């Protein structure tokens, strides 16, 4: 019974799985992965005498690279994440599956399609393991891997597949000895559309943009028309994204028009000093920023909300926040997302104090006041 370990890293998720493939039953014509469902000419299905036994999933681990809200995941950052985590996931998967090195028969990896840099990191990892363990490598097409996984789990023999992933929205079926595309998104796939949708509205990427959009939608009570196009078996979703961007601009313009007297950082710091029981002098860095009108950056609505909460979470010593407390108070899903968001805000706050001696002096005074 062969055991395969697989490495997948075509986008921001890194996955390591270990699968046990039971030996196929012996008959006059041992079935290939598609023999039970397809004839040699692809014209009609042909069942084997014995159904193939189901595969057994011994381990299925993953780790996701999560970028800050309002941003996407860059290839170089995603590739670095995969390199940092792949060895740990392989070790954890083998421990969970309770298999030894000599039990592994082959090493599978995603060869594409996907993002080049992450795919390269995973391919190098698979090749390294192949050389170290003296095991054969098997490159797997990303799309076919998804489809075959679905067939293995559901037991479907000859399905028509609606394949929806980050970069693909396709109607696929098996014909003439290969999977063929009968319809697809002509411009942007559903997954990418949701990712950019979340980026426009500054929705968190943790655990996933699409999931967070769905949870927010459940709270809504007004249905909005979003345009899309169907042409035969093909679809177009770019109209949805364009409409969302237009609506976001109008909402932002309306919000700005309704708040003509936007509070300065000094105002916010002074107001925050009362519940904290501290002196307004702690806002010296913010006051220095207010004097430099051109250096004051704009903050998103979410950043402003987190910033106000963060002021109430200040630690003693150098200006910083209690990430655990901020995560709970601001409603983040994980402390990592809270830390990333606060990191972006903190950079903006520090930039307001200036880059020269004036900024250094202001930041130093702020730290001294906080300690005093």
If you average pLDDT over residues 102-123, what whole number do you get? 96
Q: Is the peptide bond before 325 cis (omega within 30 degrees of 0)?
A: no
Residue 297 pLDDT? 62
Count, residues in the chain? 372
Dist. CA 105–CA 4, nearest whole Å: 6
62 band by pLDDT with thresholds 50, 70 and 90? very high
* Mean confidence (pLDDT) of the chain: 78
> Which domains does the chain carry?
3-23+53-155 (3.30.420.40), 187-256 (3.30.420.40)
Which residues neighbour 291 within 8 Å (Cβ) at sequence distance 6 or greater? none
Which residues neighbour 33 within 8 Å (Cβ) at sequence distance 6 or greater? 148
What six digits make up the tokens of 63? 């780790």
CA-based nearest residue to 163, from 179, 143, 148, 187: 143
Helix H or strand E encompassing 345: helix 335-352
Tell me what percent of the chain is helix, strand and coil, each rounded to the nearest 5: 50, 15, 35
If you average pLDDT over residues 340-363, what whole number do you get? 59
pLDDT above 80 (res 3):
yes
Phi, psi of 60 (to 5 degrees): -150, 90
278 band by pLDDT with thresholds 50, 70 and 90? very low
Write out pLDDT tens, residues 181-228: 999 999 999 999 999 989 888 899 888 899 999 999 999 888 888 899
9: three-class secondary structure by DSSP: coil
Write out pLDDT tens, residues 163-186: 998 888 999 999 988 999 999 999
């Amino acid at each position: 019974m062969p055991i395969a370990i697989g490495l997948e890293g075509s986008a921001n998720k890194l996955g390591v799985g270990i699968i046990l493939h039971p030996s196929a039953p012996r008959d006059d014509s041992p079935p290939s992965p598609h023999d039970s469902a397809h004839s040699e000419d692809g014209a009609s299905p042909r069942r084997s005498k014995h159904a193939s036994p189901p595969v057994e999933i011994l381990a299925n681990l993953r780790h996701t690279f999560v970028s800050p809200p309002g941003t996407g995941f860059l290839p170089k950052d995603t590739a670095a994440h995969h390199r940092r985590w792949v060895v740990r996931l392989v070790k954890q998967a083998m421990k969970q599956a309770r298999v030894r090195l000599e039990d592994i028969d082959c090493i599978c990896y995603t060869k594409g399609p996907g993002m080049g840099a992450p795919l390269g990191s995973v391919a190098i990892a698979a090749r390294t393991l192949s050389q170290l363990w003296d095991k054969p490598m098997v490159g797997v097409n990303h799309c076919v891997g998804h489809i075959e996984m679905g067939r293995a789990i559901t037991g479907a023999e000859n399905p028509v597949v609606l394949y929806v992933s980050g970069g693909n929205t396709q109607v696929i079926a098996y014909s003439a000895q290969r999977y063929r595309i009968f319809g697809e998104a002509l411009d942007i796939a559903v997954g990418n559309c949701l990712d950019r949708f979340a980026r426009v509205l500054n929705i968190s990427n943790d655990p996933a943009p699409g999931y967070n959009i769905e949870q927010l939608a459940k709270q809504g009570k007004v249905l909005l028309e979003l345009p899309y196009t169907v042409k035969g078996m093909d679809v177009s979703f770019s109209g949805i994204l364009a409409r969302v961007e237009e609506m976001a601009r109008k909402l932002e313009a309306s919000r700005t028009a309704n708040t003509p007297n936007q509070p300065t950082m000094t105002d916010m710091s002074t107001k925050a000093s009362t519940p904290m029981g501290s002196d307004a002098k702690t806002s010296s860095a913010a006051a220095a920023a207010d004097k430099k009108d051109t250096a004051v950056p704009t903050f998103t609505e979410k950043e402003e909300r987190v910033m106000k909460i963060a002021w109430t979470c200040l630690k003693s010593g150098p200006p910083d926040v209690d990430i655990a407390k901020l995560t709970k108070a601001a409603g983040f899903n994980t402390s990592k997302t809270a830390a990333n968001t606060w990191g972006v805000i903190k950079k903006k706050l520090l930039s307001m104090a200036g880059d020269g001696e004036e900024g250094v002096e202001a930041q130093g005074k702020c730290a001294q006041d906080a300690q005093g």
